[in-house]
A and B are shown apart, each in its own frame.
Chain A
Amino acid sequence: MDMNQYLSMFIDESNDHLQALNENMMSLEASPEDLSIVQVIFRSAHTLKGMAATMGFEDLASLTHQMENVLDLVRNEKLAMQDFIFDTLFKSLDALESMVQDITGGGDGKADVGAIVASLQAIVRGENPSAQGSAPAANAAAAAPSEGRALLDEFQLSVLKQSVQEGHQVLFIEVTLRSDCQLRAVRAYMVFELLERYGEVVKSFPSVQDIEQEKFEFSFSLYYITQKTAEEIQSMILGVSEVDTVTSVALDQESLEQVGQPAVAAAAEAPAPSAQAAHPEAPKAASAQTSAVPKEEAKKAPAKTGGTPSRTIRVDIDRLDVLMNLLSELLIDRVRLEQLASDTQSTELTETVEHLSRVSGDLQNIVMKLRMVPVDTVFNRFPRMVRDLAKSLDKKVDLVITGAETELDRTVVDEIGDPLVHLLRNALDHGVEPIADRIASGKSETGTIHLRAFHSGNHVFIEIQDDGAGISRERVLKSALKKGVVTADQAASMSDSEVHQLLFAAGFSTAEVISDISGRGVGLDVVKAKITSLGGNVTIYSTQGKGTNFSVQLPLTLSIIAAMLVRIGTEKYAIPLSSIVETGIIKRAQIRNVHGSKMVEFRGSHIPLLSLGTIFAVPDYDESTEDETEIVVIRKGDKLAALTVSDFIGQNEIVIKNLGKYLPEVQGISGGTILGDGQVALIVDPNAFIK
């Protein structure tokens, strides 16, 4: 069977499951007693295993299988979650992630997971320093019959009660088959047959029909009336081959009363409703579980466990690009029609065109919205990263994420991950102080890093704020002087915020400096460059002793930008508005020659004057004959330059198109756009003109 067509779906879904696993493991780590989370994790792992096995990725399947074994013990309260188990499980997740990545990259997803598998197996066997620790927990669980198992209807309940009164045994039996069991339904049937010889099965979960159709995982549970004791029954069932474990608990009048209670009450009373674990298919049990979750941890992912069917579909981003192209054509035609309508002065045509304008405007909005994805696709991986990093740095850090639902264009979201990782690492490594220092300065032991995203105007802001030591002006300056980034004179006259900006200087970021100064600087110039290339901006606010805030400003989308259209000779060019400081007119007398290059005065300082006509070899334009020349002042970081043009056409929203694979890279041109008249205008890349 050709699996290729399913591969991309497999990859997408695997990534979703891995993400969910990571998130739920994190929340489980925060509240290890909450077995409902274990249940969710188990289900994700199980689905992942099934998918991997179907697709033939054996290593992936076998590793998930081992994880499942561990989780299975945990959810059945045979094993208490502990630090080293978390670490091993997280390691397994990492391994799974790299396998999926390998598959994404066209590999076969094979990896040597022997070590992890071995340690997972060791955990299952109970071979670990804390095996003794988990034993009492298991005993306790076995001792206390779990009340909230499942719901019986009134009739069944009264049958059971009556049986107890008549001196029969009422047992709640849970059977788990070995995970390598080949014919689960057959084994289950054998168990039922055996039981029916000595008594009566009142109710089973899942239902008998489901069990017959193998619609259960490896365990099922049932209520049973018999004359035999719980122990006898237990050993009889264990006699059936391929049965892994059997628990059999005798119920008395009182516990039967509790079975009859609504599930919510039962769940609240029993911190570990293991019956829910045993039969996730039972819809009533599932609803009991969701209601238990908010009780335990109100803010924790109710959406994940809620099980509301997803009302979304996955769309290939390429198709959206095609849609965008079609739309931009429509917009271009609209402009032509508008011109025609105003030329012909026909009322009917004008009205139709106006309607068309409104519809296409709405359409544009929708298409733009389709391309928007919430930043949480990027933010999701951060809690895990911060956890690991804080552990390795021996610091305590809380990561508080707000505004994860803020939406950004897919292209921006794809690019923004790496810079944010950098900034977060930076905040953890250099921002938040070691525990001892924090206590010494009267702060709480645990540092807090806020990661926020929010809309403001046509931009999205992402802020990373720590409550650490802040940036030390002296140390930054000292290091900058040593590196030759600034001179002593400059240093003295710099404002604090100018000093902070030094962290982004290229020469500043190299190697060993980082650990001896307050350290902010590991590759921050790269971060800045990346953000700038996205048309964004990054600013630092820092108060010494209080903490630091990196504020990243990003455009909502990369595919449509605001630009200034200019004419050079007969040619039209677009200059991105985000780089333009201002436009103006200069007189020939204002142009000076400094060391062979032209300079012009702009707000008290001299900036280079570049002729776009000369640079682009525009055939029919020569500004040197003009007395007055239009200029566009552009900015890259804090450096300025002026470009000469013949005319300003005006400001416009333009759709960025690439120039095709065939053309070589042209310096100073970043792409093309289609104007209202259908012609292509090239987009000037101002960054190329300022070194």
Chain B
Amino acid sequence: MAEDIKVIVFKLGTEEYGIEVDKVQTIERMMPITRVPKTYAFIKGVINLRGVVIPVIDLRGRFGLDESEHTDQTRVIIVNVNEMEVGFIVDSANDVIDLNRDSIDTPPEVVGGIKAKYLDGVAKIGDDRLLIMLNLAEVLNKSEIVQLESLEG
């Protein structure tokens, strides 16, 4: 029997994603963002999180989805991976669930337009909820971004 992990659940569009709770520092409401010129389009800029300047990424933009208007529900999830502090802008975040590692399956080859490499797996909760577990190291992998850009440009 594998261990239980706590997972923060957030939404992009209609899909639900999960990040392990120990990688998440805090979840903040939307706050003023200072644009940083000449950087990737999905990097929205930097915010002041209690005295520390942190870059924020629009996760929709990062996954190549259409960006949406920010609402009351919009949240910034501050994660800390490989000593990098980064904020993710997500449509909403309002759940923490316990998940058994056994219930996470390896991702299928094609997942709703988002590259499988960003995913750690897919977990089925209850009868009809699917939770997509993010592979944060890949999401924040910069060398891969450079490749992507050069292919496009």
Contacts and interface: CB of A to CB of B under 8 A. Distances in A.
A132 to B, nearest CB: 63
B34 A680 contact: yes
Interface stretch (B1-9, B49-57, B121-129): B49-57
A335 B102 CA distance: 52
Contacts of A669: 36-37
Contact of B46 (A325, A660, A668): A660
Contact of B84 (A332, A660, A678, A681): A660
Given A329-B51, A680-B47, A660 B85 contact: yes
B38 A616 contact: yes
Given A662-B86, A664-B142, A325 B51 contact: yes
Interface string A662-688: 111011110010100011111000000
A661 interface: yes
A672 B52 contact: no
Interface string B21-54: 0000000000010111111100101111011111
Interface in A304-326: 325-326
Contacts of A247: none
Contacts of B32: 678-679
A659 interface: yes
Contacts of B85: 660-662
Contacts of B55: 659-660, 662-663
B51 A571 contact: no
Interface string B103-133: 0000000000000000000000000000000
| Most B C-beta atoms less than 10 A away, residue of A615, A618, A663, A682 | A663
Contacts of A303: none
A658 interface: yes
A681 B37 CA distance: 12
A435 B139 CA distance: 66
A618 B83 CA distance: 31
Contacts of A615: 37
A430 B59 CA distance: 60
Q: Which of A328, A659, A681 has the most CB of B within 10 A?
A: A659
A662 B38 contact: no
Contacts of B54: 660
Contacts of B84: 660-662
Contacts of B36: 659, 663, 666, 669, 682
A658 B53 contact: yes
A473 interface: no
B140 A662 contact: yes
Contact of A659 (B46, B140, B142): B46
Contacts of B43: 663
A618 B43 CA distance: 15
A110 B52 CA distance: 41
Nearest to A326: B51
Contacts of B142: 662, 664
A674 B37 contact: no
Nearest to B52: A325
A625 to B, nearest CB: 21
A164 to B, nearest CB: 76
Nearest to B146: A664
A424 B152 CA distance: 52
Given A329-B50, A680-B46, A660 B34 contact: no
B88 to A, nearest CB: 11
B52 A617 contact: no
Nearest to A678: B48
B38 to A, nearest CB: 5
A667 B53 contact: no
B151 to A, nearest CB: 17
A657 interface: yes
A657 B34 contact: no
A666 B39 contact: yes
Given A659-B53, A661-B84, A680-B53, A674 B38 contact: no
Interface in A615-663: 615-618, 657-663
Contacts of A661: 83-85
Nearest to A664: B39
A592 B109 CA distance: 59
A657 B52 CA distance: 7
Contacts of A668: 37-38
Q: Which of B40, B46, B47, B85 gathers the greatest number of chain A CB atoms within 10 Å?
A: B46
Contact of A674 (B35, B53, B83): B53
B39 A663 contact: yes
Interface string A316-356: 00000000011011001000000000000000000000000
Contacts of B38: 616-617, 666-668
A679 B86 contact: no
Nearest to A667: B38
A617 B47 contact: no
A682 B34 CA distance: 8
Nearest to B57: A662
Contacts of B35: 571
A618 B45 CA distance: 13
Contacts of B39: 663-664, 666
B40 to A, nearest CB: 8
B37 A679 contact: no
Given A617-B37, A659-B53, A672-B46, 8 more contacts: A660-B55, A660-B84, A660-B86, A664-B39, A664-B40, A672-B34, A679-B32, A679-B48
Ranked nearest first, the 7 interchain pairs of A and B with the lowest CB-CB distance are: A616-B37, A329-B51, A680-B34, A657-B53, A325-B51, A672-B53, A661-B84
Interface of B: 32, 34-40, 43, 45-48, 50-55, 83-86, 140, 142
26 contacts: A325-B52, A326-B51, A328-B51, A571-B35, A617-B37, A617-B38, A618-B37, A659-B55, A660-B46, A660-B54, A661-B84, A662-B85, A662-B86, A662-B140, A663-B43, A663-B46, A664-B142, A668-B38, A669-B37, A672-B34, A678-B48, A679-B34, A679-B48, A680-B48, A681-B34, A682-B46
